[in-house]
Amino acid sequence: MKNIIILFLLVVSPIFSNTQKVPSQIKEVTVYLSGAEITRTALCLLKEGSNEIVFTGLSHKIDESSIQVSGLNAVSILSLNYNINYLEKVESEPQFKAWEEELKRLEHQISLLKNQILGWEEEEKVITTNRMVSTDNQALSLEKVKEISRYYRERITAIKNEIFETNLEINRLNLETMALQRQMAEVNNAPEKEQGEITIKFDAPIATQLEVTLKYLVKDAGWVPNYDIKSKAINTPLKLTYKANVYQKTGQDWNNVKVVLSTGNPQYNIAKPKLESHYLNFVSAYKKRYAPSLKKKGYAYNPSVKKVVGVVTDASGMPLPGANVVIKGTTHGTTTDFDGNYTLNIPYGQELVFSYIGQVTQELPLYSSIINVQMEEDATALDEVVVVGYGEADSSVSAEQLIQGRTAGIQVRGISTMKSQPEPLYIIDGVPVDDFVEGDLDASEIQDIEILKGAGTAIYGSRGIHGVVVITTKKSTAEEGATKTEFAIKKNYSIPSNGDITAVEINSFSLVATYEYFAAPIINENVFLTAGFTNWEKHQLLPGEANIYFEGTYAGKTVLDPYVTKKEMILSLGIDPNITVTRKQERNFKSKSFTGSNRILNRTYNLEIKNNKGIAIDLRLLDRIPKSQNKEIRVSDIVINEATYETKKGILTWTMHLKPKENKTVDFSFQVKYPRGKYISL
């Protein structure tokens, strides 16, 4: 008997195993440019001693080395293991339980309706059984017979109608039930989805209830910066909306979670480079004499890019026809046309390789659907004339000064008013707010204030007769660290694990801009309306696409790239066809001459500007005079007339004011002398 008891205990002991499967909830997600950190919480009931807890329903793309556990108090960890479970159904189907509850509700409602039908049918039987009018016991008048007959007819009709309507409702509920059952069957029959599990063995000194926090990194997630830039008219501030396109395919949906966007990337190798001694020796003449530096890590791969366009230029800004653009690691690519433009469909891959004879090959992630590349001269190329590109610099009032200027004398709520004065209409984040009073918004919540008067209030009708105060609140709080910036988004978001883009607004800013018309006819004879702004650094902008809107109309798409911007960021608001610039070279064949062993070229260029608009404009016109990088090539006899000349770069600038319908012509000239028998490109 004793042996039987021992055998029984050995057999059933696994049933009473101390292993617990514990679900957990995602509380916060920190999304990096590539990857994400998940924060989960779970409640565990531990007995004294050793406890094995399995946290189920996790992503199957966890970086095991990144797992962190906190909230242990006096409990210690004996072991931790991460594995992938291919056998159990994924536990994170958020709708399945709701479907089960809805199915029970429908079945209950159908049963109640069927009971009602049974009751009406019983009533109909009673009426039918007693409908015979007997004359044995009493004599009935004709009127009494008519009254009884009318009652029977009306009641039987009512019962039949009730049964008919109820059967229609039952049929409708049956259709809902069948649809729900098919949906549940589809989920049940779906292929098994792998899920991650973290198994932790805890050692508890006493029985306790433990709230555990798990943190870990996952791949196949990230965010891509995106911008909307709007200008109502010339000489008005720019409205810049900073957004993030967030995506994830981690295998687990993020439902109603707090989102933090980080400009950092924990997956990069952060080991500092080590510079060793370099020893010279004779090498092959064809061996590369330089090592290209590592590309910048600020550009993040954008998985939504399926087609990319752009222009490839040399260091002087001139287009490079025939440059190669290839998806890295493949033979899928294209070449630029005569104007340096290219278009390439992206069926796969994450990086592009740009190459051209005599230029340093560049590799860039597919961070935007518009990628313009300026190549750099290869250090091994032959000496030649190189015209250095131009730069721009200007100054303008910052957005902060703009807000201060607008709110001079304005209190926390944006306007100082007396109680006896009519109140303006307040628009908070696009929504009219009645009875807005000072203190409803903390000053730290306000991103921008705009006061509308006169015609600007027309769209609000009579409500805006006393003025309109438009207040934009901050959509996130930014915390800047030593190596990254984090944006804590105030609103919770749900981001499904399907790779689709979820747009998250980070913040919006009002930026004081300087507007001007711009033309560089040596590269492009079109005249562009531009808006420039400074102090963009404080907004922690990253390279990304920008949608431009001008005067309420979509103007096009461009790219904001703070990595190549210096003091002022210049945006093009579009081409104005009502202003034309033509550049022509004077044809003076006698200017070609020789002096001894040298050849001399004289060049004169005429630039004609026509303002066909009905209003006056300010135009900045740029051209250039080539600079020599070879002592045998000399550029002299430079005549710039009224232009401003930047000697170091060879850039000519004309700043002019043109009246309506006014035409103007400017010119410049120079001479180039170089050895006979050699060639240069002007």
Q: Which residues contact 613 (CB under 8 A, 6 or more apart)?
A: 576, 578, 579, 660, 661
The residues near 183 (Cβ < 8 Å, ≥ 6 apart) are 99
| Nearest-angstrom CA–CA distance, 528 and 520 | 9
- The dihedrals phi and psi of 160, each to the nearest 5 degrees, come to -60, -40
Mean pLDDT over the full length of the chain: 81
**The pLDDT value given to residue 455:** 74
Of 610, 583, 580, the residue nearest 668 (C-alpha) = 583
DSSP codes joined into one string, 587-615: --GGG-EEETTEEEEEEEEEEEEEE-SSS
pLDDT at 401 exceeding the cut of 90: no
| 3-state SS, one letter per residue, for 622-640 | EEECCCCCCCCCEEEEEEC
| pLDDT tier for residue 622 given thresholds of 50, 70 and 90 | very high
The model's confidence at residue 271, banded by pLDDT at 50, 70 and 90, is low
Q: Which pLDDT value is given to residue 389?
A: 31
pLDDT of residue 344: 94
* pLDDT at residue number 407: 38
What is the 8-class DSSP label of residue 460? G
Distance between CA atoms of 24 and 60, rounded to whole angstroms?
15
pLDDT of residue 143: 80
Containing 124, the helix (H) or strand (E) segment is helix 96-129
Q: How many CB atoms lie within 10 A of CB 451?
A: 17
Contact call for residues 658 and 613 (beta carbons, < 8 A): no
Percent share of the chain, pLDDT over 90: 37
* Confidence grade of residue 439 (pLDDT, cut at 50, 70, 90): low
Please tell me the distance from the alpha carbon of residue 479 to that of residue 30, in angstroms, as a whole number: 13
Of 284 and 584, the one with more pLDDT: 584
Please tell me the predicted confidence (pLDDT) of residue 608.
Answer: 95
Predicted local confidence at residue 202, as pLDDT: 94
Residues linked to residue 326 through DSSP beta bridges, in sequence order: 333, 353
- pLDDT class of 297 with cuts at 50, 70, 90: low
Residue 553 has pLDDT above 80, yes or no: yes
In this predicted model, what pLDDT tens digit does every residue of 111-129 receive, in sequence order? Answer: 998 888 888 888 888 887 7
* Range 10-34 average pLDDT: 76
State residue 141's pLDDT score. Answer: 76
pLDDT score recorded for residue 419: 44
pLDDT tens readout for residues 131-175: 655 445 456 677 877 787 888 888 888 888 888 889 999 999 899
Q: Tokens 């001269």 correspond to what residue?
A: 377
User: 504 with 246: CB under 8 angstroms?
Assistant: yes
- What is the C-alpha separation between 312 and 54, in angstroms, rounded? 55
Determine contact, residues 247/303, Cβ cutoff 8 Å.
yes
Give 1 or 175, the one with higher predicted confidence.
175
* pLDDT value of position 384: 39
| 481-500 average pLDDT score | 86
Going by C-alpha positions, the residue among 335, 337, 371 that lies closest to residue 351 is 371
Dist CA 259 CA 272 (whole Å) = 31
- Describe the crossing of helices 96-129 and 142-189 by its angle, rounded to 10 degrees: 160
| Average pLDDT of the residues in 515-544 | 88
What is the pLDDT, as a whole number, of residue 139? 62
The counts of H helices and E strands in the chain are 4, 39
Q: Which tokens sit at 402?
A: 């703009």
Higher pLDDT, 180 or 191: 180
Token pair 């709708």 is found at 95
Secondary structure element (H or E) that encloses residue 580, with its range: strand 579-585
Classify residue 206 as left (phi > 0), alpha (psi -120 to 50) or beta: beta
Average pLDDT over residues 222-251: 91
